[in-house]
Amino acid sequence: MLQSFLSLRAQARSCTSLSRSHLRSLSSSAHLKMRVVPVPVRSDNYAYLLIDENTNKAAVVDPFDVSKVKAAAVKEGVELISLLTTHHHQDHSGGNNYLAKAYPTATIYGGSHKSPAVTDIVKDGDAFTVGNDIKVKCMATPCHTQDSICYYVEDATRNQRGVFTGDTLFVAGCGRFFEGTAEEMHKALSYLGTLPDDTTTYVGHEYTKGNLAFGAHVEPENPGFEPLKKLVENNEITAGKSTIADEKKWNVFMRLDSPEIQKAVGKTDIIQVMDELRNQKNNYRG
C-alpha cells in the first residue's frame, strides 16, 4: 500500500514537472517575434537585420558594409537568408556582391539590375516571406531613383509591422529627386501614408536633426515638432523610433496642404509646394 502511494506521488511530481516545463516553453515561444536591428554603416547610413525569432532566420536590408552586417548577424545568432535592396545607389547596394559571395544561397531582391548581384527583380505588390511569420510586401516608390522599392513587413500573428524606406522617406524628411519629379515624390509619400498609422519606419540615413531644423524653419507653429525635438535630444540613433502617424504630424513633405508651409514656399498647388519645398531644403544651411 505504501509502495503504491509513493508511486502515485512520484507520477504526480513528474506530471507537475512536465506541466511547468511545458508552460515555460509556451511562455518562451510567446515572446518570439519579428525583430529589427539597425546596423549603422558609413557616416550616416543604416543597414538592418530583419529577424524572424521563431526560426532565427534573417534578411538584411542595404548591407553596404558586409563585415559589420556579418558581425551583427553573429552577435544575434541568426542565419542570413536574403537581402533586400531599396535602390541602386552605391551606399545602399554597394555590399551586394560581397554578401552574395559570403552567402551564395541568399536570395537578393531589388527593383532593377542596376543593383549588383540581384537574383529576384521585384515590382509593386510583389510579396515573399522571411522565416515562417514575416510577410514582406514590395512598394514601388520611384523618384529618388526609378528603381526605389520600399519593403512593408508584417508579422500578423503578433500585430507587428514596419517599413524599410531607403532614401524615399526619412524621419521628418524625404530624399532628393535625383531621377524623378515632385509629383512622383508626392505620390510615393502618399502611398506610404496609406500604411497603418502604427507602422514603424526604418529609414536609410540618420538625417533627423537637420530635418527637424528645416521643418521648424518652414512650419514653426507645428506642435508636432515638440516630441521630435525630444526624440533627437534623447537618441543618437532615431531609426525605428518613428511611425507613419508620427510622420504625418512632423514631416513637412507629407504636410503639403499646411497653410503655414504654403506661405513659406509661396505656392498653393500641391506639386509646386513639394517642388519648392525640396528646393529650399537642398539650399537650407540653418
Separation of alpha carbons 95 and 12, rounded Å: 58
- Class of the domain covering 32-283: alpha beta
pLDDT reported for residue 31: 57
pLDDT reported for residue 132: 94
CB burial of residue 246 (10 Å; 0-12, 13-18, 19+): buried
Separation of alpha carbons 280 and 286, rounded Å: 11
Residues 208-231: pLDDT tens digits?
A: 999 999 999 999 999 999 999 999
Separation of alpha carbons 190 and 271, rounded Å: 12
What mean pLDDT comes out for the span 17-27? 37
Q: Is the pLDDT of residue 63 over 70?
A: yes
| Residues belonging to the active site | 87, 89, 91-92, 144, 167, 205
Separation of alpha carbons 136 and 126, rounded Å: 8
> What's the grid cell of residue 257?
496642404
> What's the grid cell of residue 119?
537574383
Q: Is the pLDDT of residue 12 over 50?
A: no
Q: Shortest CA distance to 252 belongs to which of 235, 228, 285, 286?
A: 228
Strand runs (DSSP E) across 7-56, as ranges? 34-41, 45-52
Please, which pLDDT band fits residue 122 given cuts at 50, 70 and 90? Answer: very high
Q: Shortest CA distance to 215 belongs to which of 169, 276, 284?
A: 284
